[in-house]
């Protein structure tokens, strides 16, 4: 086994263990020693991969974003029409966030006011990263839909406006569902919303 592959495996183990510990105890209460112990490594060996606990958190969040985008991309590829692809986009995003909300909610447990302020910046950075990836996927769906003749021709600004509306709707639904803790009508709500959003774009 090459050193590169071995390093990648150790990093994967480290990130996975850190995620589990952060979700169980909150970011503040977990130490570098805890993470090292969880993967059977010395504390000093972890510094070869990450210099601080904050860098480990960044790696954990980056892995979560990659997984979300991968799941959405798979769901989109399995759908046929533009409408079905956007529905798959919505439902996969919502279901994945629902599954992961315990992890994200646990991260700020035990933080003081100063730490919470800093963590809000991290949350916003994550939001921006996710939105960028989501925009790329939606842009592909719309472009391919136009190419297949399913959707009317749109200029660049119209495409970006439509993506903005879709993502704003998605994040609004996500926020309301989390606040009210109501996910039972997720699929019917998505079906109605997506049909309403793209109905005017069909030829």
pLDDT tens per residue across span 128-161: 888 999 999 999 999 999 999 988 888 999 999 9
Lowest mean pLDDT, pick from 56-65, 99-108, 164-173: 99-108
DSSP assignment of 130-177: HHHHHHHHHHHHHHHHHHTTSB----HHHHHHHHHHHHHHHHHHHHHH
How many whole angstroms separate alpha carbon 44 and alpha carbon 157? 51
Q: Look at residue 164 in the predicted model and tell me its pLDDT.
A: 93
* Extents of the domains making up the chain: 59-199
How many whole angstroms separate alpha carbon 181 and alpha carbon 170? 16
- Range 150-154, long-range pairs (CB < 8 A, 24+ positions): 150/81, 150/82, 150/202, 150/203, 151/82, 151/198, 151/201, 151/202, 151/203, 152/201, 152/202, 152/203, 154/201
Query: Length of the chain, please?
Result: 203
How many whole angstroms separate alpha carbon 63 and alpha carbon 12? 9
Q: Look at residue 2 in the predicted model and tell me its pLDDT.
A: 55
- pLDDT reading at 74 higher than 60: yes
Output DSSP code: residue 201. T
Residue 119: exposure state from Cβ atoms within 10 A (0-12, 13-18, ≥19): middle
Q: Using an 8 Å Cβ cutoff, are 107 and 126 in contact? A: no
Token pair listed for 93: 């995003």
Q: Look at residue 163 in the predicted model and tell me its pLDDT.
A: 92
pTM for this structure?
Answer: 0.81
Query: Looking at the domain 59-199, which fold is it?
Result: Tetracycline Repressor; domain 2 (1.10.357)
Q: Look at residue 202 in the predicted model and tell me its pLDDT.
A: 53
Q: Look at residue 187 in the predicted model and tell me its pLDDT.
A: 87
- pLDDT reading at 190 higher than 70: yes
- pLDDT reading at 1 higher than 60: no
* 179 CB-near residues (< 8 Å, 6+ apart): none
- Of 38-47, 52-61, 79-88, highest mean pLDDT: 79-88
Q: Using an 8 Å Cβ cutoff, are 61 and 130 in contact? A: no
């Amino acid at each position: 086994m090459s050193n590169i592959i071995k390093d990648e495996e150790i990093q994967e183990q480290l990130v996975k263990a850190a995620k589990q510990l952060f979700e169980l105890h909150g970011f503040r209460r977990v130490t570098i020693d805890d993470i090292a112990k969880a993967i059977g490594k010395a504390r000093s060996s972890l510094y070869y991969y990450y210099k601080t606990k904050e860098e480990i958190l960044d790696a954990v969040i980056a892995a979560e974003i990659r997984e979300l985008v991968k799941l959405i991309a798979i769901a989109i590829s399995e759908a046929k029409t533009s409408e079905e692809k956007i529905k798959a986009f919505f439902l996969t995003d919502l279901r994945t966030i629902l599954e992961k909300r315990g992890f994200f909610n646990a991260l700020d447990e035990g933080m003081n006011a100063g730490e919470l302020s800093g963590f809000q910046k991290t949350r916003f950075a994550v939001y921006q990263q996710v939105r960028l990836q989501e925009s790329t996927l939606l842009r592909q769906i719309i472009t391919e839909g136009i190419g297949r003749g399913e959707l009317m021709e749109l200029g660049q600004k119209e495409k970006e406006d439509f993506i903005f509306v879709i993502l704003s709707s998605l994040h609004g639904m996500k926020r309301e569902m989390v606040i009210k803790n109501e996910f039972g009508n997720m699929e019917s709500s998505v079906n109605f919303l997506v049909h309403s959003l793209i109905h005017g774009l069909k030829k």
